[in-house]
Copies of this chain bind each other. A is one copy, B any other.
Amino acid sequence: MDRKEFRDLVTPAEAREAIHSLELGAGTERVPLAEARGRILASRIDAELDVPGFDRSSMDGYALRARDSFGADEAEPARLAVVGEVHAGVEPDVEVGAGEAVEISTGAVMPPGADAMVPVERTEHVEPGSADRAGGETAGADRRAVLVRTSVAPGDNVMFAGADVAAGERALGPGTRLTPREIGLLSALGVEEVPVRAPPRVGIVSTGDELVRPGEKLTSARGEIYDVNSHAIAAGVEDAGGEAVVYPHVGDDMVEMERVLRQAAGECELVLSSGSTSASAVDVIYRVIEERGELLVHGVSVKPGKPMLVGRLADSAYVGLPGYPVSAMMVFRTFVAPVIREAAGLPTAATASREGSMAVRERSEEGRLRLMPAGLVEGGDGETLVYPVDKGSGATTSLAEADGVVVIDPDTDYLDAGEAVTVELFSPDVRPPTLVGVGEDDPTLNRLLDRLENPRYLAVGSRPGLRRLREGVPDVAAVAGPLGREVDAEPVGRWSREWGLVVPADDPRRIEGLDDLVDRELRLVNRTTDSGLRTSLGLAVADLATERGTSRESLVEAIDGFEFGLRAHESPARKVLAGDADAGLGIRETADRLGMGFVPLGEQELRVLADPDRLGKPGVAELLAVLEDSPDVEVD
């Protein structure tokens, strides 16, 4: 491939401008009111009718001619003949003349002749035949009558036609997002179908021979991995108000790739590819763009995202995203989501970004805009702390840790601890964790975490966990086994777990203890030195060496597999299960869970240590309450 194009990098501002210039024209559509929630009104809605459409009684009482009540009060009520009644939803069949009243219920049509109404509380009903207490007269006692004990003015207690909404009034403007109250207003106007912006269709094409769609079978021996970007970017597109169309991902079959790209371009307003970094894949994209479109940007001065492509594919806009998930999400969030939101008419969400201050100092390379994946944690004083997440951009777990992206200016060579930064969240729905923990992976701990509101726990192992706690980012660390040196941390809870060797269910090698590993030809799968289990195993080997009067090193050398460890907590057991080894370092609960045998070697303590400055924050208080409430846990 000819990579010379990338020598001519454009600035991020130029890239934004290019993407903006693509003008994703989304159309409009009509949807029933019942499905309109959250949609954006495409054009103004004027009231086509008066609300109410008639003069309406505001209360239960009597409709009358106001002048017939003039001068009436408690002492001298006016007596009116009741000539009928009107209920809500029924057309009045009576007219109100001088000296007359009509019984009326809330919401009913004012009968002709009446110009006001008096609430029932200010009246007294007079049954036919009863004496008229107002004046003692008996004239008219054969008719129903009402005593009106207050004077009302014309219009009193009447809601006139159009008083609420008047026909011809501008009710809702174009671009209005339809929330329940707008839907209520449209209901009042009798609107059953509304013109709304159609979501821009965004096609997503992941590229890579190694990708497998989630749910399908993965063959790790071939280096296959699950396709992360298709679903994650699709969800991002929907967050931004677009309609995501996920196409089959394509590998090195160039005919197929070209076919899929052309199909996507024909069906969507915008096509996003991800991971098209292999020379041959980029070749195809170039060819399709050059034959049927226009290439506007080939390379942007941003890290990550340098090989970003921007152009037109047939009649569709096209942007090429990086293949690594966190990089793809950052570039999407920073460069692409805003134009989708705009095309969808969706306003920038109030929760789309968050202000905070750097928890640690972070260096940045000068000269290129940097997109830094960032996590959020609440500090001891309730302030939002922002920390860089960097597990290597190939790691999907950065996704679990990163809440968004901090865009760092090319002129900035470092962000100081305490410096104010803005985190553009990956979704307006991202909620910063209530508690951030790091350390050992442990089943008891996992169950405790399940009871917390919104915890983030990174099973980095005991040693890295302690290191991170010292650096001041997490609230708590969970550490297993004996530790080399103590940290300035508050122990808040502890429990013990049984560790040993996980062996096949039928235990064909009859392993009984550590001696067997040293003395027999058995293959062990160990954990990395980050793990507390590895530390306990190392100490047990040292004890055995002392017991035998030999050196720890000689025993270690005698154990096949001791030096090389796996980071993953269940991986040794799974290697045994797969027949690749005879014993794996692990805990009893793992063996039980996987239906395997277990050779206990000891008990080790798992301790939860908290940053003393964070003891007062709500998420830590919630953890302390859960620890307190757990019979397995001894609270410090």
Contacts and interface: CB of A to CB of B under 8 A. Distances in A.
Contacts of A188: 225-226, 228, 325, 396, 399
Contact of A108 (B178, B223, B350, B392): B223
A629 B104 CA distance: 53
Nearest to A575: B161
A179 B403 CA distance: 10
B218 A192 contact: no
B221 A180 contact: no
B239 A180 contact: yes
Contact of A192 (B184, B214, B452): B214
A445 to B, nearest CB: 8
Given A58-B394, A209-B87, A162 B566 contact: yes
A634 interface: no
A164 B239 contact: no
Interface secondary structure of A, over-half rule: loop
A248 to B, nearest CB: 13
Interface stretch (A88-96, A130-138, A284-292, A362-370): A88-96
Contact of A427 (B49, B181, B192): B181
A107 interface: yes
A436 interface: no
A230 B34 CA distance: 9
B218 A177 contact: no
A122 interface: no
Interface string A136-172: 0000000000000000000000011111111111111
Given A163-B567, A223-B88, A394-B58, A347 B431 contact: yes
Q: Which of A88, A177, A239 has the most CB of B within 10 A?
A: A88
Contact of A169 (B58, B189, B441): B441
Contact of A187 (B173, B227, B570): B227
Interface stretch (A66-74, A307-315, A453-461, A484-492): A453-461
**Range of interface residues on chain A?**
35 or more
Contacts of A49: 218
Contact of A209 (B89, B170, B174): B89
A525 to B, nearest CB: 11
Interface in A167-210: 167-193, 208-210
Interface string A271-282: 000000110000
Contacts of A163: 395, 567-568
B396 A214 contact: no
B233 A166 contact: no
A574 interface: yes
A37 B542 CA distance: 51
Contacts of A579: none
A166 B234 contact: no
Contact of A396 (B37, B86, B164, B394): B164
A175 B454 contact: yes
Nearest to A168: B570
23 contacts: A44-B446, A53-B220, A105-B278, A108-B210, A109-B221, A168-B570, A169-B569, A171-B400, A174-B450, A179-B239, A179-B426, A179-B429, A181-B232, A181-B399, A181-B402, A183-B231, A183-B232, A183-B234, A186-B214, A187-B214, A190-B216, A347-B453, A350-B351
Interface of A: 33-34, 37-38, 44, 46, 49-54, 56, 58, 86-91, 105-109, 159-193, 208-216, 218-236, 238-239, 246, 251, 277-278, 325, 329, 347, 349-351, 391-392, 394-397, 399-400, 402-403, 426-427, 429-431, 441, 446, 449-450, 452-455, 457, 459, 566-571, 574, 590, 593
- The 4 A-B pairs with the shortest beta carbon distances in the complex, nearest first, are A166-B568, A192-B215, A168-B570, A53-B220
